Structure formats: structure tokens, C-alpha cells
Structure 1
Amino acid sequence: MTFRLRAAVFSDVGPHRDANQDAAFAASWGAAVADGVGGGPAGDLASAALVHRLVAGGSDVGDADELEVRIRGANWDLGAHVRRDPTLAGMATTFTCLWLDRHGGLLLAHTGDSRAYLLRDGHLIRQTRDDSYVQVLVDQGIVSAADAMSHPRRNIITASLRGDDTDHVRVVDRLPVEGDRWLLCSDGVSDYLPDDVIADLVGIDVEVDAAAQLIVSAALEAGSRDNVTAVVCDVERGAPGVEEPSWAGAAADRFAGDLSGLAG
């Protein structure tokens, strides 16, 4: 049995930021959110360059190992920007991605603190663990999950993609089930909307484009001070296409239609 994604992406720079450092795409064969790391240089370049280079390799991926190699290749190209322009040293991005492999399986890749959620049979389950300082405190029982959302050091991440050979990304197999709904989002959503609110929004019976816009709007209404990005994907039967993805955020602003400037 083959599956495809009915996917849509929506992103907003937010009222407190001058530039959108989130980059995202949505297609019938894959979707991703990357969030340029704040406090470093050129976060928008880091996120946009990574996702565009990844997509430039084509939609066909065989398994988790092959996707990891593709991500590492895109990450190497990210490092090429730094090697070409040392003023970019320190630029980095989080990354969370869904990808359908050629055998009908579903792959989930993640590093950093953007998130993936799965809604199945009315139950929302977070599918990624934040690579963050505060998540370590939660794991150790020092900080509660509820308090983590307002912790003053919640934005300190412990893993990202920086173009370095030592960067780590996890790629795991997930079972695709018809009727599943996935949400990928930047921390501009998850830092301001509790999981129960996200569950209510994702569970609304609307098309994926409306759902993505609802989530972004809710995060902005909750006072998000970050860029806000959501990708909503419904799993359905059928073969994925080979269409050009829908781009959002920095990915829509940089390299549109021209990937020649991505590698150093």
C-alpha cells in the first residue's frame, strides 16, 4: 500500500521580529520546518539553505539511512557558506521533517526544538524530544513540563545543524496510517500553546491549509514573540506526486527557483 501527504504550510514573521528565520516546505512526499537559531548570524540563511538543498536532491528516498545521508549532505552545504564567508560562523538551524520513502514507509527526522506531533484516533502525541537545556531539567524532574513553557532559559538548545561533521540528527521509521494528521511547528508555536490547546486546534475538522493557519493565528493571539510556523499533513492512500513543494518563511524568500547559490 502506498501513501501520500495532503500537506499545507503557513508562516508568520510575528509582530516582534524584523525577519522570518523559520523556513518550511510542504509536499505530497514530505514536509519540514527549520528554525534559524536566534542569537547567531543569518538564521534565515541557515534554515532556508538547509531545506532547499535537501529538496534539491529530489523526492526519492529509500530508507532512514538514505535520508540521514541526504540531510548530512545538506548540512555540509550549510557549512560551505561559512567556509566561504567566515562572518557567518555560528549560524545554525533546528530541523524537523517527515518524508515518505519509496517503499511506502514514513520517516521522521529531528534535531533541535522544533516539534512533530501526531493526531491519531483523536489523541495527540508528541513525536519528538526537544534538544534543549530546559528539556534536560524536565527529564531530571527539576522543572515541570508546565513550567518549562515559561522558563527564562527555554530557548537554549543543545543540538542543531551548523554545517559541522559532528552535528547529530535522528531519523526514525514511523508507521503511516490513513487518517493520521501530523503537525510540524517551530517553537514560536510550542512555546506559547500548551499541548492540550494544540490538540484541540489540530483536531478541528478542517482542511490542512485552514488548520495550519488556525495554529499560527492562535500562537500569535497567545502572545508569541517569535516567528510562527506550522505544517499540517494528513496521511491518505495514493502515490505521492513529484510536484514542487509549497515554501514558507525564509524558504519562500531565499533561493526561490534558483538553487545555484546554495553550495560554497
Structure 2
Amino acid sequence: MTFRLQVGVCSDVGPHREDNQDSAFGAPWAAAVADGVGGGPAGDLASSAFLHRLVAFGPELRGVDDFAMRLRGANWDLGAHVRRDPALAGMATTFTGVWFDASGALLLAHTGDSRAYLLRQSHLIRQTRDDSFVQNLVDQGIVAPADAMTHPRRNIITASLRGDAADVIRVVERAPVSGDRWVLCSDGVSDYLDDDAIAEVVSDTAANVQELAERLVDVALEAGSRDNVTAVVCDVIDGVPSLVPPVWAGAAAARFQEQLAG
């Protein structure tokens, strides 16, 4: 069985930020969200450069090792920006993405506190663990999961992509199922909407994926999000992924408009 993604992508700078440091893309073969790390320089450059370099390697992927190599290459490119301009030292981004490989498996990659959720048979299950200070406290039983969203240090992350060879990103393989719905989002969504609220939005079977992505962003803004807000909604459907250029959103929509390799 061969599958492809039907993807909706939406990003909003939000009413409290001057620039959008989130980036996202969606295509029949892959989708991702990257969030420039706050407090550092050029978060918009970090998130957009990483995604565009990753996509520029081309859509055809051959397994976990190939994906890991491409992720390292895109991360090396972040370091190249810093080597050219030392004023960019410290820039970093999160990354959460899904990508079909040549065997038809769906590969999920993640680092930082952007998230991936899977809606299958009406049940929404989080597929990533936040690399964050507060998540460590939750894991140790010091902070209750219900209190994590309002913790004053919830925005401190413990892993990101900085262009350093020591950066860590996890890649796992998932078996796609027709009818699955993947939801990727920045913390501008997940810091203001709990899992039940996200599930309520994306469980609407009458709306298309673009409407759902836009609705998820709108609901997060209505909930008072003070960050950039980005959501990607992907339906797994039958069919061969067409090798068309992706749709970009956020900072990546304005930067590095490269064509796909090959």
C-alpha cells in the first residue's frame, strides 16, 4: 500500500511579537514545523534556513539513516551561517517533522518543544516528548502535568539545533495507516491549548486540513497565545506522493525560496 499526505499549513506572527520566528512546510511527501529559539539571535533565520536546506536535498528518502544524514547536513548549514557571520552565534531552532521514505514508512524526527500528535480512530495521542526544563520536572514528579502549561519556566528548552555536531535529534519509524491525521505545532499552540482542546479542533471530519490548520491557529490566538502560532495538519491518504514543491508558511515563506534538488 502506498500513501501520501494531504496537508494544511498556517502560521501567524501573533499580536504580541514583531516578527515570526516559526517556519513550516507541507507537501505530499513530508511536513514539518520549526520554531526559532527565543532569547537568541535570528530565530527566523535559523528555522527557515534549516527547513529550506532540508527540503533542498530532495523529497526521495531512503530510511532512517538517510534522514539522519540529511538532518545533520541541514544543521551543518546553520553552523555555516554563524561561521560567515559571528553575530549570529547562539541562533537555534526546534524541529518536528514527518517524511515518507522509499519503503512507504513514515519517519518522525523531533528535537525541542514543538510537537507532533497522531489522531487515529478519534483518539489523539502525543507522539513527541518536549525537550524542556518543565518536562524534566514532570518526568521527576516535581510538577503535575496539568500545571506544566502555566509554569513560569515552561519556555526553557533543553535541546535544539544550533549547527553543532553535538546536537541531538531523534528519528523513529511509524507505520502509516490510511485515515491517520498528524498534527504538528509550535509551542505557540501547545502552551495555550491542552491536548483535549487540540483534539476538539482537529477531530472535525467535515473540515479540510487547511481549514483545520487555520482554525487551530485561531483558537490558540483566542486562548491568549503570546507567541508566534503555527500548525500543520496532515491526513494520510491512499496514493503515490507527487513530487511537487512544498507550501511554506511563517519565516520560511519569505526566505530561501530554493527549488527541490533534482
Q: State TM-score, norm by structure 2.
A: 0.98
Q: Which residue of 1 aligns with 2:200?
A: 200
Q: Which residue of 2 aligns with 1:123?
A: 123
Which digits, 9 at most, give the CA deviation of each residue in 1:93-144, with x for residues without a partner?
Answer: 0000000001111000000000000000000000000000000000011101
Query: How far apart are the structure 2 equivalents of 1:257 and 1:40?
Result: 25
Query: Given that residues 8 and 27 in structure 1 are in contact (C-alpha distance below 8 angstroms), is that contact kept between their aligned partners in structure 2?
Result: no
Look up the equivalent residue of 2:8 and give its one-letter code: A
Q: Which residue of 1 aligns with 2:20?
A: 20
Distance of aligned partners of 1:258 and 1:108 in 2 relative to their CA distance in 1, 3 Å threshold: closer
Q: Which residue of 1 aligns with 2:189?
A: 189
Q: Which residue of 2 aligns with 1:262?
A: none
Query: How far apart are the structure 1 equivalents of 2:130 and 2:32?
Result: 16
Query: How far apart are the structure 2 equivalents of 1:111 and 1:131?
Result: 7
Cα deviation, residue 174, structure 1 = 0.6
Query: How far apart are the structure 2 equivalents of 1:145 and 1:18?
Result: 31
Look up the equivalent residue of 2:38 and give its one-letter code: G
Distance of aligned partners of 1:172 and 1:258 in 2 relative to their CA distance in 1, 3 Å threshold: closer
Query: How far apart are the structure 1 equivalents of 2:168 and 2:3?
Result: 28
Cα deviation, residue 256, structure 1 = 2.2
1:224 aligned onto 2:221? no
Q: Which residue of 1 aligns with 2:35?
A: 35
Query: How far apart are the structure 1 equivalents of 2:143 and 2:174?
Result: 29
- Three-state SS of the structure 2 residue aligned to 1:99 is strand
Cα deviation, residue 257, structure 1 = 4.2
1:146 aligned onto 2:143? no
Query: How far apart are the structure 2 equivalents of 1:258 and 1:240?
Result: 17
Q: State TM-score, norm by structure 1.
A: 0.97
Query: Given that residues 13 and 226 in structure 1 are in contact (C-alpha distance below 8 angstroms), is that contact kept between their aligned partners in structure 2?
Result: yes
Uncovered stretches (5+) of structure 2, i.e. residues with no partner: none
Cα deviation, residue 64, structure 1 = 1.0
Cα deviation, residue 258, structure 1 = 7.1
Query: How far apart are the structure 1 equivalents of 2:116 and 2:202?
Result: 12
Q: Which residue of 2 aligns with 1:164?
A: 164
Q: Percentage identity across aligned positions?
A: 71
Cα deviation, residue 8, structure 1 = 1.3
Query: Given that residues 56 and 258 in structure 2 are in contact (C-alpha distance below 8 angstroms), is that contact kept between their aligned partners in structure 1?
Result: no
Look up the equivalent residue of 2:252 and give its one-letter code: A
- Three-state SS of the structure 2 residue aligned to 1:177 is coil
Cα deviation, residue 74, structure 1 = 0.3
Q: Which residue of 2 aligns with 1:108?
A: 108
Which digits, 9 at most, give the CA deviation of each residue in 1:146-180, with x for residues without a partner?
Answer: 10000000000000000000000000001100000
Q: Which of structure 1's runs of 4+ aligned residues deviate more than 6 A?
A: none
Look up the equivalent residue of 1:240 and give its one-letter code: P
1:237 aligned onto 2:238? yes
Look up the equivalent residue of 2:256 and give its one-letter code: F
Query: Given that residues 132 and 158 in structure 1 are in contact (C-alpha distance below 8 angstroms), is that contact kept between their aligned partners in structure 2?
Result: yes
Query: How far apart are the structure 1 equivalents of 2:179 and 2:121?
Result: 8
Q: Which residue of 1 aligns with 2:5?
A: 5
Query: Given that residues 112 and 158 in structure 2 are in contact (C-alpha distance below 8 angstroms), is that contact kept between their aligned partners in structure 1?
Result: yes
Look up the equivalent residue of 2:216 and give its one-letter code: I
- Three-state SS of the structure 2 residue aligned to 1:149 is helix
Look up the equivalent residue of 2:192 and give its one-letter code: Y
Q: Which residue of 2 aligns with 1:78?
A: 78
